[in-house]
Amino acid sequence: MYGPLAASKPRLVKLVASLLALAALAAPALAQRLTVLTHDSFSLPSELVARFTADTGIEVVFLAAGDAGEAVNRAILTKGRPLGDLLFGVDDALLARAADQGVFEPYASPALSGVPEELRFGDGLVTPVDVGWVIPNVDVAWFEERGLALPTALEQLADPDYAGLLAVENPATSSPGLAFLLATVARFGDPDAGVEPAVASGYADWLDYWAALRDNDVSVADGWSDAYYTLFTRYGGDRPVVVSYLTSPAAELIFADQPLDAPPTANLACAGCAYRQIEGIGVLAGTRQRAAAEAFVDFMLSEAVQEAIPLEMFVHPVLASAALPPEFERFAVVEEGVTAPTLPAAVVEAEQQRWLTQWTAVVLQGRDPASVR
């Protein structure tokens, strides 16, 4: 190359190199940004999220929106102009409401092949991520010291032998309280909702059962923390049975001040006492980051994330191949026959407000079930 063009070549090379360097510096600013609406209990290791960003170029922002119900409500109220691209935390009790409002766009992750069929949502709108159980916990030493046998069925908690022993959460203000109420509806039935009883118990329906619990001196707390850390005998209260979570005994072991061979609490393995909740993530309708949203859903079903979930959120992963912490394998196991049947999401959506109104009238106001049906 000769003449003026040849003379300008070094300057041209320098210019191209400078432009490439500037492009490299600008790359992070041009990365895709994904906003995930979550409930307040959501947690993932920051290093896993950073790895996802490094692998995909997708920056992830998490926007906490209250408890699961509040998060779903915010997604519904803003569905015309969604606050995010994804919603994490919708469970099988809330799904019907979100689906009816057109909050989600369907997405079937290829990673679903590793999730057992019974843990999948049937409509394909939401991808399952974790599963948890609400179940009564007991203070092991309290029962051993008194030689009192543990109840083996949900209906026994209303027997005189267990008077004044149970603490529950208000289902109108507490997620585990609501799950326990659903367990009672599933076990004792509700003719008005078309729910047949799972057993012949002697109670006309779930409301009669709650009247029996009330008469047996059940204690009601507004939330889980008050029930567990104030009313439970493990922490100085007077109630040796408290509605809590399947993973609570494992958590007692993991967070113990001194190493323990076994937790001081245990899950009450009584028939119909537990209620299962599957939690998932869905692509919000109207997202402009559809491909990035799908990539993050796939990421949530990756083995690395699934194996991190137990110690981050104290629930179980849905991926069958995910390894569990040893404390979960020993002390967070669902015994056969303990879990109540899962109520259809549409029934829960249609009947929940009536159930809460009736529960409040019978349990807190002392009214006769017949007067509020």
The answer to the question of residue 5 being in a domain is: no
The alpha carbon of residue 66 and the mean position of all alpha carbons in its chain are separated, in whole angstroms, by: 13
- Total tally of structural domains belonging to the chain: 2
Q: From residue 357, how far is each of 30, 185, 365 by CA, in Å?
A: 51, 14, 11
Supply the CATH number for residue 287's domain.
3.40.190.10
Q: What is the pLDDT of residue 91?
A: 87
- The arithmetic mean of pLDDT across residues 45-68, rounded, is 94
User: What residues pair up with 59 in beta bridges, in sequence order?
Assistant: 33
pLDDT > 90? residue 21? no
Based on the fold, state whether residues 106 and 230 are members of the same structural domain: no
Based on the fold, state whether residues 154 and 169 are members of the same structural domain: yes
The answer to the question of residue 1 being in a domain is: no
Closest CA to 335 of 245, 246, 234: 246
pLDDT in tens, 242-284: 999 999 999 999 999 999 999 999 999 999 999 999 999 999 9
The answer to the question of residue 2 being in a domain is: no
Based on the fold, state whether residues 227 and 170 are members of the same structural domain: yes
Based on the fold, state whether residues 23 and 116 are members of the same structural domain: yes
Based on the fold, state whether residues 227 and 289 are members of the same structural domain: no
The answer to the question of residue 139 being in a domain is: yes
Based on the fold, state whether residues 338 and 209 are members of the same structural domain: yes
Confidence of residue 24 (pLDDT cuts 50, 70, 90): very low
Based on the fold, state whether residues 296 and 202 are members of the same structural domain: no
Distance CA 73, CA 36 (A): 15
Prediction pTM value: 0.86
Tell me which residue has tokens 């309280």. Answer: 177
Q: What is the pLDDT of residue 18?
A: 44
Helix, coil or strand: residue 268 = coil
Q: Are strands 316-317 and 127-139 parallel, antiparallel or unpaired?
A: antiparallel
Range of the domain at 105: 11-130+278-322
Distance CA 182, CA 172 (A): 12
Q: Are 325 and 317 in contact (CB under 8 A)?
A: no
Confidence of residue 2 (pLDDT cuts 50, 70, 90): very low
Percent of the chain with pLDDT strictly greater than 90: 81
The answer to the question of residue 196 being in a domain is: yes
Distance CA 182, CA 50 (A): 38
The answer to the question of residue 113 being in a domain is: yes
Based on the fold, state whether residues 271 and 285 are members of the same structural domain: no
pLDDT > 60? residue 148? yes
The answer to the question of residue 238 being in a domain is: yes
The answer to the question of residue 327 being in a domain is: no
Distance CA 120, CA 250 (A): 26
Based on the fold, state whether residues 256 and 282 are members of the same structural domain: no
Based on the fold, state whether residues 234 and 250 are members of the same structural domain: yes
Confidence of residue 318 (pLDDT cuts 50, 70, 90): very high
Based on the fold, state whether residues 58 and 172 are members of the same structural domain: no
Helix, coil or strand: residue 93 = coil
Based on the fold, state whether residues 163 and 224 are members of the same structural domain: yes
Q: Are 99 and 123 in contact (CB under 8 A)?
A: yes
